[in-house]
């Protein structure tokens, strides 16, 4: 049996999942997609994990794309199945009940950018390159790239990135709303860890409420979204964390959230 294509480590309540195929620039093959899905399912179910960081091994790539060598021999039906496999993973990440930060340390191309866009927040090194170059292979994005890029960056940027297929730098990606922050490469790990620790110390149920509301609101009309937000807001008043947070504010101290 081949070894796992992932590395997983915990630091406090933060779990880091690393795609570990640096010799292949962390390209996504079927085994890696399945391993990632399993890893995120495990993180979702583990009460000790409050935040997840996703990154790639080595100095060159977050994930440079799907594994072209594996795709080259696929039939149309197998290609569709491969797309569904990738989309299932991206949807799992997008619907995680805990914040997921994509730490983009290098190339995030094709399936790699699609993987990053499934994360809730993205921090990129200033040296990173991002793009959807599938058209150069006679393909289109298959893991949700056209849809999530459209929602993040708008129609014009999506068409340019997907039709031209040329990568953009991290600063341009930030201007388009594809990444949240750009930091010097040497500071990427420290800045990501700082944000992850901040999120891990926040109220887990409130974080989940925000994630749920944004997920629902992004796929429905404003009235339905507002109704869902109101329902979630009301539910927060049944939590110990809401009592702790408001009491800590009134008492001018730091809250200690238990996730109940």
* Predicted local distance difference test score (pLDDT) of residue 2: 55
On whether both 129 and 231 belong to a single domain, the answer is no
On whether both 37 and 49 belong to a single domain, the answer is yes
Give tens-digit pLDDT for 210-242: 999 999 999 999 999 999 999 999 999 999 999
On whether both 238 and 196 belong to a single domain, the answer is no
* Predicted local distance difference test score (pLDDT) of residue 1: 41
- The domain that contains 20 carries what CATH number? 3.90.226.10
pTM of the model: 0.95
Catalytic residues: 114, 134
Give tens-digit pLDDT for 31-79: 999 999 999 999 999 999 999 999 999 999 999 999 999 999 999 999 9
Mention every residue, 6+ apart, whose C-beta is less than 8 A from residue 56: 18, 19, 22, 25, 26, 62, 63, 105, 106, 112
On whether both 190 and 224 belong to a single domain, the answer is no
Instruction: Report the C-alpha gap between 87 and 54 in whole angstroms.
Output: 17
On whether both 101 and 192 belong to a single domain, the answer is yes
For residue 259, being part of any structural domain is answered with no
Domain boundaries, position 237: 204-250
CA distances from 85 to 115, 120, 129, 226, 235 (A): 12, 20, 25, 32, 34
On whether both 185 and 65 belong to a single domain, the answer is yes
* Predicted local distance difference test score (pLDDT) of residue 3: 80
On whether both 166 and 213 belong to a single domain, the answer is no
On whether both 11 and 70 belong to a single domain, the answer is yes
SS3 category, 80: helix
On whether both 169 and 215 belong to a single domain, the answer is no
- The domain that contains 235 carries what CATH number? 1.10.12
For residue 255, being part of any structural domain is answered with no
For residue 95, being part of any structural domain is answered with yes
The count of domains in the chain is 2
Whether the pLDDT of residue 102 is over 70: the answer is yes
* Other Cβ atoms closer than 10 A to 258: 12
Whether the pLDDT of residue 118 is over 60: the answer is yes
On whether both 217 and 116 belong to a single domain, the answer is no
> Average pLDDT over the chain, rounded to whole?
96
Contact 104, 170 (CB under 8 A): yes
* Predicted local distance difference test score (pLDDT) of residue 85: 96
């Amino acid at each position: 049996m081949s070894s796992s294509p992932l590395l997983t480590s915990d630091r406090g309540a933060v779990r880091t999942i690393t795609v570990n195929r640096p010799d292949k620039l962390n390209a996504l093959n079927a085994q890696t997609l399945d391993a990632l899905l399993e890893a995120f399912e495990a993180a979702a179910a583990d009460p000790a994990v409050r935040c997840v960081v996703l990154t790639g091994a080595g100095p060159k790539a977050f994930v440079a794309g799907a594994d072209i060598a594996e795709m080259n021999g696929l039939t149309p039906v197998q290609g569709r199945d491969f797309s569904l496999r990738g989309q299932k993973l991206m949807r799992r990440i997008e619907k995680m009940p805990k914040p997921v930060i994509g730490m983009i340390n290098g190339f995030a191309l094709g399936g790699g950018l699609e993987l990053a866009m499934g994360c809730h927040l993205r921090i990129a090194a200033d040296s990173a390159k991002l793009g959807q170059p599938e058209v150069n292979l006679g393909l289109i994005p298959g893991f949700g790239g056209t849809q999530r890029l459209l929602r993040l960056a708008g129609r014009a940027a999506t068409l340019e990135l997907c039709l031209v297929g040329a990568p953009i730098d991290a600063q341009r990606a930030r201007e388009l709303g594809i990444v949240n922050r750009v930091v010097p490469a040497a500071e990427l790990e420290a800045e990501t860890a700082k944000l992850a620790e901040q999120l891990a110390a926040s109220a887990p149920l409130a974080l989940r409420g925000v994630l749920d509301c944004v997920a629902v609101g992004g796929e429905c009309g404003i009235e339905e979204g507002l109704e869902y937000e109101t329902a979630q807001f009301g539910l927060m008043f049944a939590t110990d964390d809401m009592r702790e947070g408001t009491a800590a504010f009134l008492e001018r101290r730091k809250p200690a959230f238990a996730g109940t």
